[in-house]
């Protein structure tokens, strides 16, 4: 598939590798700034193709194919957007052409959870029990006998909390993990560090971390512990230690992994011992966070600011510093073990003065099972509310959820 629009000779060209729905915000933002966008994806129906100037169907795992296209079009950068394992393709292109953004080395370290752990552990920054279970391992591994429970198992590669599960004791782990070996793909099993879990949006520019938004997670109970919402966290005197420890830990992690001059998101567990970095990825957050929730809460569009940094041709200064962080909550519809009997009118919900955005894709009669991964949850929709404090956000959230009439399925 190939689509070309008539371009002016002087028009600035940029590329997007992976043109999923998550790419649309970056494509639109770049075009508003006057750039021409070349979208690359192996799906001929990729949503991002609708918004780009030029759309090319290509195997984004094949670096040689990507190089041929970049040789022809010579884009000045690869737009940052949420992407999974093939962040490595973006790193390879950036290295090959000397473009700003994530390097191949950093991309590999971000997308390989085993390598990520080992690199940090060697520097004394990730003190947790951790074992790699290879795809072909078929026998129960005796090395787990010494583990302290609970433990978490997750695919070595992948994102969106796919197949992530927590096991509370050895019997649970034996029955629901070890007895199922071999699993057909590599997994990592490691200590399940306890505490309050946060996500964050940030930029690492000239080896300095710019924290844009810290988000406290709303999690489902074990064993899946899926994130079903986020509170924005405002920095103040009472949580200064939290912010200091998170900034320090994430910045140190980025330097060890070689993450620099790019956007990033991270998951961090915080407890009395400090900040434990669960993972870092050198690309923006998904799930309507970087493109919607973070700009609403902080006034900072990290894609726009990164373009100002990466493209001096735009002749505009960048800033990742919010003037204010608002008290907001984004909540996804995590109803479970039920059938939707009635749901409120979306247009009517959007008129409520405390709702900043609302999108519901649920249908009357739909049967909803427990949330086990990010994609299935995101399909349902979300709402964003603003309130005076955490207590008011909780009240407003419950009010919205109560508008749905559910019955046992």
Q: Is residue 339 part of a domain?
A: yes
Mean pLDDT of the chain: 94
Look at residue 400 and tell me if it is in a domain. Answer: yes
Please state the rounded mean pLDDT for residues 95-110.
97
**pLDDT at position 10:** 55
The pLDDT > 70 percentage for the chain reads 97
Domain check: are 177 and 230 in the same one? no
**Top-confidence residue, 409 or 242:** 242
Q: Is residue 114 part of a domain?
A: no
Taking CA atoms, 363 is separated from 112, 230, 344, 345, in Å, by 37, 24, 10, 11
Same domain, 163 and 204: no
Q: What is the DSSP string of 241-306?
A: HHHHHHHHHHHHHHHHHT--SEEEEEEEEEETTEEEEEEEESS--TTTIIIIIHHHHHS--HHHHH
333 and 385, same domain (yes or no): yes
Query: 338 and 298: one domain?
Result: no
pLDDT above 70 for 6: no
* Secondary element (H or E) of residue 393: helix 390-401
Residue 9 has pLDDT above 50, yes or no: no
In a domain, 117, yes or no: no
Looking at the DSSP assignment, which residues form a beta bridge with residue 155?
A: 187
Q: Is 147 domain-assigned?
A: yes
Query: Span 241-247, mean pLDDT?
Result: 98
Tell me, yes or no, whether 80 and 179 share the same domain.
Answer: no
Give the pLDDT confidence score for residue 139 in this predicted structure.
79
In whole angstroms, what is the distance from residue 108 CA to residue 87 CA? 8
Task: Name the pLDDT band for 224 (thresholds 50, 70, 90).
Answer: confident
Query: Can you name the residues that pair with 203 across neighbouring β-strands?
Result: 210, 263
**Over 50: is that where the pLDDT of 273 sits?**
yes
DSSP string for residues in 156-219:
SS--TTTT-EEE-SHHHHHHHTGGG---SS-EEEEE---SEEEEEEEEEETTEEEEEEEEEEEE
The pLDDT of 123-136, averaged and rounded, is 93
State the pLDDT at residue 296.
98
pLDDT of 78 over the 60 cut: yes
Mean pLDDT of the 132-156 span: 87
Report residue 409's pLDDT band, with 50, 70 and 90 as the boundaries: confident
Helix (H, G, I), strand (E, B) or coil at 321: coil
Residue 252 sits in a domain of what CATH number?
3.30.470.20
Which of 99, 120, 146 lies at the terminal end of a domain, its last residue?
Answer: 99
What local confidence, expressed as pLDDT, does residue 138 receive?
Answer: 86
Q: Is the pLDDT of residue 120 over 70?
A: yes
**Euclidean distance between CA atoms 124 and 299, whole angstroms:** 36
Please give the share of the chain, as a percent, with pLDDT higher than 90. Answer: 88
Q: What is the mean pLDDT of residues 268-277?
A: 96
The residue-averaged pLDDT of 6-33 equals 88
Residues 6+ apart with CB under 8 A from 51: 24, 27, 28, 31, 37, 39
Q: Find the CATH number of the domain harbouring 166.
A: 3.30.1490.20
Last residue of a domain, one of 142, 176, 191: 191
The CATH number for 55's domain is: 3.40.50.20
Greater model confidence, 353 or 161: 353
Question: Are 71 and 90 in the same domain?
Answer: yes
Residue 219 and residue 184 share a domain: no
**21 has pLDDT over 70:** yes
Give per-residue pLDDT as tens, 359-382. Answer: 999 999 999 999 888 888 999 999
pLDDT of residue 344: 96
The count of domains in the chain is: 4
Q: Please indicate, yes or no, whether residues 201 and 173 belong to a single structural domain of this protein.
A: no
The answer to whether position 315 is within a domain reads no
Please report the pLDDT score of residue 152 as a whole number. 94
Tell me which of 261, 280, 310 is where a domain ends.
310
- Residue 147 pLDDT level (bands cut at 50, 70, 90): confident
What's the pTM?
A: 0.93
Q: Summarize the confidence of residues 141-152 as an average pLDDT.
A: 83
| Predicted pLDDT of residue 374 | 82
The domain of 389 spans 328-408
**Residue 392 neighbours by CB distance under 10 Å:** 15
pLDDT band at 160 (very low <50, low <70, confident <90, very high): low
The 8-class DSSP code of residue 86 comes to T
Task: Considering only residues 149 and 158, tell me which one the structure prediction assigns the higher pLDDT.
Answer: 149
Q: Which strands, in side-by-side order, build the sheet including 36-41?
A: 2-3, 54-57, 36-41, 13-17
The answer to whether residues 209 and 280 belong to one domain is yes
Residues 74 and 147 in one domain: no
Determine the average pLDDT of the residues in 298-315. Answer: 97
Residue 113 lies in a domain: no
- On whether both 235 and 275 belong to a single domain, the answer is yes
In a domain, 352, yes or no: yes
Q: Which band of pLDDT confidence, cut at 50, 70 and 90, is reported for residue 279?
A: very high
Question: Within this chain, do residues 229 and 292 fall inside the same structural domain, yes or no?
Answer: yes
Give the tens place of pLDDT for each residue, 172-218. 999 999 999 999 999 999 999 999 999 999 999 999 999 999 999 99
Q: Is the dihedral of CA 276, 181, 173, 220 positive or negative?
A: positive
Does the structure show a pLDDT above 80 at 5? no
Provide CB contacts within 8 A for 251, sequence distance 6+.
Answer: 204, 208, 209
Q: Are 73 and 52 in contact (CB under 8 A)?
A: no
């Amino acid at each position: 598939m190939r689509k070309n629009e008539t371009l002016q000779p002087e028009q600035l060209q940029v590329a997007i590798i992976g043109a999923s729905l998550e790419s649309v915000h970056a494509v639109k933002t770049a075009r508003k700034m006057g750039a021409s966008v070349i979208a690359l994806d192996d799906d001929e129906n990729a949503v991002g193709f609708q918004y780009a100037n030029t759309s090319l169907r290509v195997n984004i795992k094949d670096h040689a194919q990507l190089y041929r296209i970049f040789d022809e079009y010579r884009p000045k950068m690869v737009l940052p957007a949420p992407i999974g394992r093939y962040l490595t393709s973006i790193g390879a292109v950036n290295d090959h052409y000397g473009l700003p953004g994530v390097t191949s080395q950093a991309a590999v370290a971000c997308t390989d959870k085993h390598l990520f752990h080992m690199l940090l552990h060697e520097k004394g920054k990730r003190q947790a029990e951790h074992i790699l279970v290879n795809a072909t391992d078929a026998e129960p591994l005796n090395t787990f006998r010494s583990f302290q429970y609970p433990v978490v198992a997750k695919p070595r590669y992948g994102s969106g909390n796919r197949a992530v599960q927590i096991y509370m004791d050895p019997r649970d782990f034996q029955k629901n993990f070890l007895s199922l070996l071999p699993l057909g793909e590599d997994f990592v099993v490691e200590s399940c560090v306890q505490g309050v879990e946060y996500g964050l949006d940030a930029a690492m520019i000239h080896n300095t971390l710019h924290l844009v938004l810290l988000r406290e997670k709303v999690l489902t109970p074990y064993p899946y512990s899926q994130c079903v919402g986020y509170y924005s966290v405002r920095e103040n005197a009472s949580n200064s230690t939290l912010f200091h420890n998170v900034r320090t830990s994430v910045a140190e992690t980025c330097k060890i992994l070689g993450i620099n001059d790019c956007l990033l998101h991270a998951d961090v567990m915080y407890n009395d011992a400090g900040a434990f970095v669960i993972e870092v990825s050198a690309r923006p957050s998904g799930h309507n966070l970087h493109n919607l929730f973070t700009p609403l809460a902080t006034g900072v569009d990290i894609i726009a600011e990164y373009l100002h940094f990466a493209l001096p041709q735009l002749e505009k200064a960048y800033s990742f510093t919010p003037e204010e962080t608002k008290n907001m909550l984004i909540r996804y519809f995590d109803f479970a073990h039920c059938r939707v009997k009635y749901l409120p009118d979306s247009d009517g919900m959007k008129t409520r003065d405390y709702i900043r955005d609302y999108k519901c894709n649920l249908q009357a009669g739909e049967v909803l099972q427990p949330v086990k991964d990010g994609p299935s949850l995101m399909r349902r929709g979300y709402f964003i509310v603003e309130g005076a404090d955490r207590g008011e956000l909780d009240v407003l959230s419950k009010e919205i959820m109560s508008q749905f009439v559910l019955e046992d399925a």
